[in-house]
Amino acid sequence: MGGTYKTIGINLKSTPLGESDRLLTVLSNEFGLVRMVAPGARKHKSSLGGRSSLFVVNELLVAKGRTLDKIVQAETLESFPGISQNLAKLTAAQYLAELVLFQALSDQSQAELLCLFREHLSRIEQFPADYTLPSLTHATFHLLALAGLTPQLHTCGISQRPIELTRLEPWEQAHGVAFSATVGGLIWLDELARSTANLPISKAAASTATYTVGTASETTGETGSRSNLNQPGSRSAASQPQPILKSAQRAKNADLLTPLDSTTLHLLQQLTQSHFIEVAIQTRSAVLDLDYRQNWLAIERILRQYAQYHFDRPIRSAALIDVCFPLADAPSPCVNHDAIV
């Protein structure tokens, strides 16, 4: 890089350093994740004050240092003031920033990840506050897909049998399909029963390795991304070889299997569409109404559990999701909405 280098990047983390500096974690186009110092950024009249805030995109001139790089000059290209003015939008942005930190690499180009993150921040800022939860789940799915963790949503991850709403009998709509974080997508529960019955497990594992089954409103789960959607050769979690019981301890401590009702299943399958939320807004689709919040909460928790399982770390910002979107405001997730099925 030489003594100095230029790059475009967005601030993902910002913490105080010393008496007046800030330590930034920046996702940059050319060099991926970079930790750099914004000198004097906490001083009252510092030119780097606002430029060192979260989710500000800057064109940077940076001096290479032995341990930490130092910002010499910054010019703001984009910011998202509407996000910081709404708690739900700010929580969603922090949630997505954590997912970006999980998958971002250092010392190599992260242009596609930066572009996708900026795109979804823009959507969250511009869309009405009531649409923040659907926008968050859509963005989470796309980020996971970009990370190579696209869940299998249209065929059973065990048998490859198609899973379509038009093919489901009424009892199957409520009880026959579930999402499995360990398998990597949707499964037929009868296939799971057959597979686990024939799976050789040691006596020690058999005594502890069990699936915990949660309701759709109590569990967490998974997601994918724009560039990998429906492309030949895209790497999905479901297509990779994974044991059905990947970890006895994880299965014991977390809800890894979530039965789905037909409405939640329908919405989950629509996330593969790149512009699903925009189209729903333009057509005034009922799926963005408050009546569907419980279903969106179920999907967020499915995707959260899926992400945490595969990245093997918690999404700390997700704790505020339950504060911003309380369950009491939403109807039961088991209610089927005839408008979309």
The predicted pLDDT at position 241 comes to 39
Query: In this structure, which long-range contacts are made by residues 36-44, counting pairs with CB atoms below 8 Å and at least 24 apart in sequence?
Result: 36/60, 36/62, 36/68, 36/69, 36/70, 36/71, 37/65, 37/68, 37/69, 37/70, 37/71, 38/71, 38/74, 39/70, 39/71, 42/16
The predicted pLDDT at position 101 comes to 97
Tokens of 49: 């004050």
Tokens of 55: 């989710």
| Alpha helical stretches, state H, the chain | 81-84, 87-103, 111-126, 132-146, 170-175, 189-197, 203-208, 248-253, 262-270, 276-282, 293-311, 321-324
Note the pLDDT tens digit of each residue in 190-243: 888 887 765 444 333 333 333 333 434 333 333 333 334 433 334 444 444 344
Q: Average pLDDT for residues 25-51, to the nearest whole number?
A: 94
- HEC per residue, 141-153: HHHHHHCCCECEC
Note the pLDDT tens digit of each residue in 99-158: 999 999 999 999 999 999 999 999 999 999 999 999 999 999 999 999 999 999 999 999
Global confidence as pTM = 0.79
Note the pLDDT tens digit of each residue in 291-319: 899 999 999 999 999 999 999 999 999 98
Q: Average pLDDT for residues 245-265, to the nearest whole number?
A: 63
Tokens of 245: 């019981």
Choice between 166 and 228, residue whose per-residue pLDDT is larger: 166
Among 53-57, 187-191, 192-196, the range scoring the smallest mean pLDDT is 192-196
- HEC per residue, 28-60: ECCCEEEEEEECCCCCCCCCCCHHHCCCCEEEE
The predicted pLDDT at position 327 comes to 61
Q: Average pLDDT for residues 40-46, to the nearest whole number?
A: 91
Asked if residue 337 has pLDDT above 70, the reply is no
Tokens of 21: 């500096």
The listed range with the strongest mean pLDDT (46-50, 95-99, 175-179) is 95-99
Cα–Cα distance between 214 and 235 in angstroms, integer? 28
Q: Which domains are assigned to the chain?
A: 4-81 (2.40.50.140), 145-329 (no CATH)
The predicted pLDDT at position 191 comes to 86
Locus of tokens 């009998």: 169
Contacting residues for 278 by C-beta, under 8 A, at least 6 apart:
123
Q: Average pLDDT for residues 148-177, to the nearest whole number?
A: 80
Contact 14, 50 (CB under 8 A): no
Among 16-25, 104-113, 161-170, 304-313, the range scoring the smallest mean pLDDT is 161-170
The predicted pLDDT at position 127 comes to 95
Cα–Cα distance between 178 and 138 in angstroms, integer? 19
Cα–Cα distance between 23 and 65 in angstroms, integer? 13
First to last CA, the chain: 55
Quickly state the pLDDT bin for 176 (edges 50, 70, 90). Answer: confident
Tokens of 98: 């954590």
Note the pLDDT tens digit of each residue in 61-108: 999 988 899 999 999 999 999 999 999 999 999 999 999 999 999 999
Which of 122, 113, 114, 115 is closest to 92 using CA atoms?
122
The predicted pLDDT at position 44 comes to 86
Asked if residue 278 has pLDDT above 70, the reply is yes
Which of 196, 183, 194, 168 is closest to 264 using CA atoms?
168
